[in-house]
Chain A
Amino acid sequence: MAYRSLWAIAALTLAFGAGAQPEPIRIGAFLSVTGPAAFLGDPEQKTLELYVEKVNAAGGVLGRKIQLYAYDSAGDAEKARAYVKRLIEQDKVDALVGGSTTGETMAAVPLAEAAGVPFISLAGAVVIVEPVKKWVFKTPHTDRMACEKIFTDMRGRGATRVALISGAGGFDRSMRAECLKVAASAGVQIVADESYGAGDSDMTAQLAKIKATPGVQAVLNAGFGQGPAIVTRNYRQLAIGAPLYQSHGVASKQFVKLAGDSAEGVRLPAAALLVADSLPDADAQKKVVATYKRDYEARFKQEVSTFGGHAYDGLMIVLDAMRRAGTTDKGRVRDAIEATRGYVGTGGVVNMSAQDHMGLDLTAFRMLEVRSGDWKLVDPRN
């Protein structure tokens, strides 16, 4: 008899206890943690996990804890689609942060639009936000911006005849296409356009062709992974004198380590996160990037990467929007995201609008140069 009432009390307490816990805020993520884009997804996942933990430790958002549902789509658009379906239908997430690659993001876009779930993408191509889609936003700088920044810098050094060399991946091809499109309006002429394959070990044949092209004043390598490091080494091996530019895809210490001495003098556009320590205190981003760098490196014993930074920005923008909207109602959160103004992230200062679902301008990109194995700001005033 006594036992039965004990059980009844226990059951009631449990029921009340469970009911008393407020519903968690569900954030869904699909990232390329394994596969060819592990470079991107791995730091993204780590960042999301770290910051969900931190925010929960500080009390959560709107008095509710955050629950992260993260899946590994391994760079595969089909998998991404299936996981996004799962996140929306089964896990019933309030918002999506993810899509490490453009292919995966674009596969998820129709699902987010149809279901009306705010989606912040972590991929690079400009096609994600152009044309603007109601529910889709992105945090990383676009590849078009990278091209514009690089071409402007080249013009500043007097170089107008440019050779392009890119890899076979989605990022590479997309950036190459954008650079070809904006070249004329940026005042440069593309005189050579070479490619290499995924997993290639030697690019001297293509570089020899570029070297033999008359009047090349600068060379741009659009790619990420080990390709650009090999290109850089081959570049010095062939003693090509023109300045070499890389893309923001290799904005990481790993690239510098792989390319070794041959990286000296290479320039690329990157987020301020990479030079957090050498930013002047007056810089708007100094506090945010320095804190993120310190927290990430302390926890994971790894260099920060700009990709992890984009994930940080994505998560924080969503949570900030929820705070401002005072609810997790998807429509109101979406409106709040679109109204983000003056938000300081690792990628830059974000000002979104109905026409601009990314919110960064060219000043968010800093031009860096490799000197003695470390990043140096080319123009500290920038």
Chain B
Amino acid sequence: MSAQLLQSLFSGLTVGAIYALVALGFAIIYNASRIINFAQGEFVMIGGMAAAVFVDAGLPLPLSIVAAVGLGMLVGLLLEKLAVEPARGAPVVTLIIITIGASILLRGLAALVWDKKIRPLPAFSGEAPLMIGGATLLPQTLWVLGTTLAAVAALWWFFNRTLSGKAMLAVSHNRLAAQLVGISVRRVLLVSFGLSAALGALAGALIAPISFTAWDVGVMLGLKGFAAAMLGGIGSGPGAVAGGLALGLIEALGAGYLSSAYKDVFAFVVLLAALVFLPNGLAGHGPAERV
């Protein structure tokens, strides 16, 4: 395999792993509430920015990351409690606008509380790239991939083996029935936002050593993560991951072999084609529709 091809694949994996983590966050909230949380990208931004700010302030890296994840989770819980819960009966489009408003608010707050500088974060295990077959891979990419896989495994265990996880699954399948057997939908929503935000923040801290962080990184990442989640079939965790990796690979291969100027266009064209021909995404099952 040529060095250029291998390098393009590695590039796609790096970027794809990032998209996968963001997409996973979308999937969790959608599963519990059928809401597309357009503020998901901002959770990622908060995680990266908070970690960078804490490190700048002198905290050791691991502690900064934990604190950043904690902050992200807090923001997610607040968002659910203050914005989503009061609007629970509203039509879907209204909820979408609320999350969009939340993303604008969070971005504005980040610019105000922190600043507009681009910040780096030190890599977790060093910057020296690994040489594999003539191409290079950053160790940080392995961290991102590893965490994504660990997250998927942990979530699977949570949803299938614990009572609270099963309760969340129940809500996503049939809210009324779940309520009838005594599951608190409100609590499930709260947990889903908190979990998704924590995951997003962790993603932000993982990504920052590769692509830096700033007050506005959430916009593009959120968009691509959403696209990846749709590609994988919204509502499916493994689908989200597969969608993320696929999107990253399509972009990198498009850049390396077709035209790097049009790589984003290429990726979205492929996405559109996939949606039209595979209307339920890669995972194959979509939400059932009630008449």
Binding site for B on A (CB under 8 A): 34, 36, 38-39, 42, 168, 194-206, 208-209, 211-212, 225-226, 229-230, 237-239, 254, 257-258, 260-261
Taking CB atoms, residues of chain B closer than 8 Å to A260 are 120, 127
Known: A195-B261, A225-B118, A226-B118. A208 touches B256 (CB 8 A): yes
Contact assessment for A258 and B7 in the assembled complex, using a CB-CB cutoff below 8 Å? no
Which 4 A-B pairs rank lowest in CB-CB distance, beginning with the nearest? A201-B211, A199-B220, A208-B7, A205-B256
Q: Does B136 contact A (CB under 8 A)?
A: yes
Taking CB atoms, residues of chain B closer than 8 Å to A202 are 11, 14-15, 210-211, 252
Contact assessment for A204 and B220 in the assembled complex, using a CB-CB cutoff below 8 Å? no
CA distance A39 to B2 in the complex (A): 39
CA distance A38 to B212 in the complex (A): 16
Q: What does DSSP make chain B's interface, helix, strand, loop or mixed? A: helix
Taking CB atoms, residues of chain A closer than 8 Å to B161 are none
Taking CB atoms, residues of chain A closer than 8 Å to B264 are 197
Q: Tell me the nearest residue of chain A to B262, going by C-beta.
A: A195
CA distance A230 to B221 in the complex (A): 16
Binding site for A on B (CB under 8 A): 2-4, 7-8, 10-12, 14-15, 18, 111, 116-118, 120, 127, 129, 135-136, 138, 207, 210-212, 214, 216-217, 219-221, 252-253, 255-256, 260-261, 263-264
Contact assessment for A206 and B4 in the assembled complex, using a CB-CB cutoff below 8 Å? no
Taking CB atoms, residues of chain B closer than 8 Å to A226 are 118, 211-212, 214
Taking CB atoms, residues of chain A closer than 8 Å to B3 are 208, 212
Q: How far is the CB of B179 from chain A (nearest CB, A)?
A: 41
Question: Which single member of A229, A237, A238 contacts B118 (CB below 8 Å)?
Answer: A229
Taking CB atoms, residues of chain B closer than 8 Å to A42 are 116
Contact assessment for B136 and A206 in the assembled complex, using a CB-CB cutoff below 8 Å? no
Known: A38-B116, A237-B129, A258-B118. A205 touches B211 (CB 8 A): no
Q: How far is the CB of A83 from chain B (nearest CB, A)?
A: 19
Contact assessment for A201 and B210 in the assembled complex, using a CB-CB cutoff below 8 Å? yes
Contact assessment for A199 and B210 in the assembled complex, using a CB-CB cutoff below 8 Å? no
Q: How far is the CB of A225 from chain B (nearest CB, A)?
A: 7
Taking CB atoms, residues of chain A closer than 8 Å to B210 are 201-202, 230
CA distance A195 to B117 in the complex (A): 24
Taking CB atoms, residues of chain B closer than 8 Å to A257 are 120
CA distance A94 to B136 in the complex (A): 57
Taking CB atoms, residues of chain B closer than 8 Å to A230 are 210-212
Taking CB atoms, residues of chain B closer than 8 Å to A34 are 111, 116
CA distance A237 to B135 in the complex (A): 10
A-B contact pairs, 27 of them (CB 8 A): A36-B216, A38-B111, A194-B255, A194-B261, A195-B261, A200-B15, A201-B14, A201-B211, A202-B11, A202-B14, A202-B15, A202-B252, A204-B14, A205-B12, A205-B252, A205-B255, A208-B7, A208-B8, A211-B4, A225-B118, A226-B212, A226-B214, A229-B212, A230-B210, A230-B211, A237-B129, A260-B120
